[in-house]
Amino acid sequence: MILIIMMWLMITMSVMMMMMKMMLRRMKLMMMLKVKRKRKSKKTCHTQNMNCFTHDNDHWKTPPYWNYGPFCFCSNANNNTYWCLRTINQTHDFVYCEFITTFMSFYDLRTDPHQLRNAVTDLNYGVLQQLHEELELMKTCRGRQECALRSSATR
């Protein structure tokens, strides 16, 4: 009888040990997957020449709270990742912008004051090239005199 009880205890202990090993493996696997997901989310939250970072549910301290998990956020204005040229005179009132992603926009504010239609494809190549060159000059100028002289010299 004692032999049977000892065998039963050994079998029970061996089953418990196997279950504990399986649980430890599962926990280790879950931790590895969590780390992998975290690394992957950090890798996908990167855009060349931009300041990108991940927000998650813990980021928001005041309502409305975000409850839909981590997401990548890349801001433009804080990174100087776009440049715009605003032209206002007797015949023109427009905004032309270039982004580091090579996206361009052109809004004629006389006909589209709310900037609802990007009209960059309506411009002929010569005008587009002139706007690009003027914007390049404005990006490198320093001070009121230099920028005013450069902008009036290219017209």
Residue 149 or residue 88, greater confidence: 88
What is the 3 state secondary structure string of 74-111? ECCHHHCCEEEEEEECCCCEEEEEEECCCCEEEEECCC
Query: Is 1's pLDDT higher than 80?
Result: no
Which pLDDT value is given to residue 105? 95
Condensed to tens digits (0 to 9), the pLDDT of residues 25-68 reads 888 888 888 776 666 555 567 666 666 777 788 877 777 777 88
Q: Are strands 71-74 and 52-55 parallel, antiparallel or unpaired?
A: antiparallel
Q: How far apart are CA 56 and CA 100, in angstroms?
A: 26
The pLDDT value given to residue 79: 59
Residue 104: predicted pLDDT: 93
| Cα-to-chain-centroid distance, residue 68 | 17
* pLDDT digit string, tens, across residues 72-109: 777 655 556 788 999 999 999 999 999 877 889 999 99
Can you give the pTM of this predicted structure? 0.49
What DSSP assignment string belongs to 42-54? HHHS--TTS-EEE
Instruction: Check pLDDT > 60 for residue 114.
Output: yes
